[in-house]
Structure 1
Amino acid sequence: MNYYRKFLLFVALFVVCFTSVATMVPNNAKAASDPLGINAGAAILLDAKTGKVLYQKNPDAVLGVASMSKMMTEYMVLEAIHDKKISWDQKVMINEYVHKLSAAPGLSNVGLTQGEEYTVKELYQAMAIFSGNAATVALAETVAGTEKNFVALMNKKAKELGLNDYNFVNSSGLNNESLLGNIPAGGPKDENVMSARAVAKLAFHLINEYPEVIETASTPKLNFKKDGREYPNFNWMLPGLIFEYKGVDGLKTGSTDFAGYCFTATAERNGQRFISVVMKADSKDSRFTETRKVLDYAFNNFAEEEVLPKHYQVKGTKTLPVVKGKGDKVKIYTKDAINLVLKNGEKENYKAVLVLDKKKLTEDGELTAPVKKGDKIGYVTIESKTDDDLGFLYGKGDKTIKVDVIAAENVEKANGFVLMMRGIGGFFGDVWGSVSSAVAGWF
Structure 2
Amino acid sequence: MNIKKCKQLMMSFFVLTLIVTCLAPMSRAKAASDPIDVNASAAIMIEASSGKILYSKNADKRLPIASMTKMMTEYLLLEAIDEGKVKWDQTYTPDDYVYEISQDNSLSNVPLRKDGKYTVKELYQATAIYSANAAAIALAEVMAGSETKFVDKMNAKAKELGLTNFKFVNATGLENKDLHGKQPEGTSVDEESEVSAKDMAILADRLITDYPEILDTASIAKTKFREGTDDEMDMPNWNFMLKGLVSEYKGVDGLKTGSTDSAGSCFTSTAERNGMRVITVVLNAKGNIHTGRFDETKKMLNYAFDNFSMKEIYAEGKQVKGHKTISVEKGKDKEVGIVTKKAFSIPVKNGDEKNYKAKVTLDKDKLDAPVKKGAKVGKLTATYTGDDKDYGFLSTDVSGVDLVTKDKVDKANWFILTMRGIGGFFSGIWGSIVDTVTGWF
**The one of 246, 249, 266 aligned to 2:270:** 266
Whole-angstrom CA distance in 1 between matches of 2:189 and 2:326: 66
After TM superposition, give the deviation of residue 33 of structure 1 in Å. Answer: 6.4
Whole-angstrom CA distance in 2 between matches of 1:304 and 1:203: 20
- DSSP 3-state at the match of 2:401: coil
Map residues 282-361 of structure 1 onto 2, 5 A cutoff. 282=286, 283-309=289-315, 334=339, 337-353=343-359, 358-359=365-366
Map residues 361-400 of structure 1 onto 2, 5 A cutoff. 381-386=380-385, 388-395=389-396, 400=400
Q: Which moved more, 1:330-339 or 1:112-121?
A: 330-339
Q: Which position in structure 2 is the counterpart of 1:205?
A: 206
| Change in CA separation of 1:193 and 1:93 when aligned onto 2, cut-off 3 Å | same
**Is the contact made by 2:336 and 2:405 (CA closer than 8 Å) also made in structure 1?**
no
Q: 1:13-57: per-residue Cα shift (whole Å, max 9, x none)? A: xxxxxxxxxxx99x9799556431111111100111122211111
Q: Which moved more, 1:100-109 or 1:375-384?
A: 375-384
Q: Which moved more, 1:56-65 or 1:31-40?
A: 31-40
Map residues 52-67 of structure 1 onto 2, 5 A cutoff. 52-67=52-67
| Change in CA separation of 1:237 and 1:383 when aligned onto 2, cut-off 3 Å | closer
Q: Which position in structure 1 is the counterpart of 2:255?
A: 251
Map residues 130-279 of structure 1 onto 2, 5 A cutoff. 130-185=130-185, 186-225=187-226, 226=229, 227-279=231-283
Whole-angstrom CA distance in 1 between matches of 2:34 and 2:135: 38
Residue type matched to 2:111 in 1? G
After TM superposition, give the deviation of residue 105 of structure 1 in Å. Answer: 2.8
Residue type matched to 1:70 in 2? K
Whole-angstrom CA distance in 2 between matches of 1:258 and 1:85: 35
**Identity within the alignment, %:** 46
After TM superposition, give the deviation of residue 164 of structure 1 in Å. Answer: 1.1
Whole-angstrom CA distance in 2 between matches of 1:317 and 1:178: 56
After TM superposition, give the deviation of residue 156 of structure 1 in Å. Answer: 1.5
After TM superposition, give the deviation of residue 132 of structure 1 in Å. Answer: 0.4
Q: Which position in structure 2 is the counterpart of 1:115?
A: 115
Q: Which position in structure 2 is the counterpart of 1:79?
A: 79
Whole-angstrom CA distance in 2 between matches of 1:61 and 1:112: 37
After TM superposition, give the deviation of residue 381 of structure 1 in Å. Answer: 2.8
Q: 1:356-383: per-residue Cα shift (whole Å, max 9, x none)? A: 875469xxxxxx9xxxxx8989667344
TM-score normalised by L of structure 1: 0.77
| Change in CA separation of 1:379 and 1:44 when aligned onto 2, cut-off 3 Å | closer
After TM superposition, give the deviation of residue 384 of structure 1 in Å. Answer: 1.3
| Change in CA separation of 1:183 and 1:352 when aligned onto 2, cut-off 3 Å | closer
| Change in CA separation of 1:302 and 1:403 when aligned onto 2, cut-off 3 Å | farther
Q: Which position in structure 2 is the counterpart of 1:325?
A: none
Q: Which moved more, 1:345-354 or 1:156-165?
A: 345-354
Whole-angstrom CA distance in 2 between matches of 1:271 and 1:140: 35
- DSSP 3-state at the match of 1:339: strand
After TM superposition, give the deviation of residue 301 of structure 1 in Å. Answer: 1.5
Whole-angstrom CA distance in 2 between matches of 1:349 and 1:94: 57
After TM superposition, give the deviation of residue 126 of structure 1 in Å. Answer: 0.6
| Change in CA separation of 1:355 and 1:169 when aligned onto 2, cut-off 3 Å | closer
Residue type matched to 2:240 in 1? W
Q: 1:55-101: per-residue Cα shift (whole Å, max 9, x none)? A: 11110121111100000111111111112111100010112222221
Residue type matched to 2:292 in 1? S
After TM superposition, give the deviation of residue 143 of structure 1 in Å. Answer: 0.9
Whole-angstrom CA distance in 1 between matches of 2:66 and 2:85: 27
- DSSP 3-state at the match of 1:295: helix
Query: What is the root-mean-square deviation in Å for CA atoms of aligned residues?
Result: 4.1
Whole-angstrom CA distance in 2 between matches of 1:195 and 1:239: 28
| Change in CA separation of 1:219 and 1:53 when aligned onto 2, cut-off 3 Å | same
Structure 1: 5+ residue runs without aligned partners?
1-23, 323-328, 362-367, 369-373, 408-414
Q: 1:261-285: per-residue Cα shift (whole Å, max 9, x none)? A: 0000011123321110011013220
Whole-angstrom CA distance in 2 between matches of 1:360 and 1:135: 50
**Is the contact made by 2:327 and 2:366 (CA closer than 8 Å) also made in structure 1?**
no
Residue type matched to 1:131 in 2? S
| Change in CA separation of 1:85 and 1:380 when aligned onto 2, cut-off 3 Å | closer
TM-score normalised by L of structure 2: 0.77
| Change in CA separation of 1:188 and 1:432 when aligned onto 2, cut-off 3 Å | closer
| Change in CA separation of 1:156 and 1:353 when aligned onto 2, cut-off 3 Å | closer
**Is the contact made by 1:81 and 1:87 (CA closer than 8 Å) also made in structure 2?**
yes
Whole-angstrom CA distance in 1 between matches of 2:432 and 2:140: 80
Whole-angstrom CA distance in 2 between matches of 1:301 and 1:210: 29
- DSSP 3-state at the match of 2:41: strand
| Change in CA separation of 1:433 and 1:157 when aligned onto 2, cut-off 3 Å | closer
After TM superposition, give the deviation of residue 215 of structure 1 in Å. Answer: 0.6
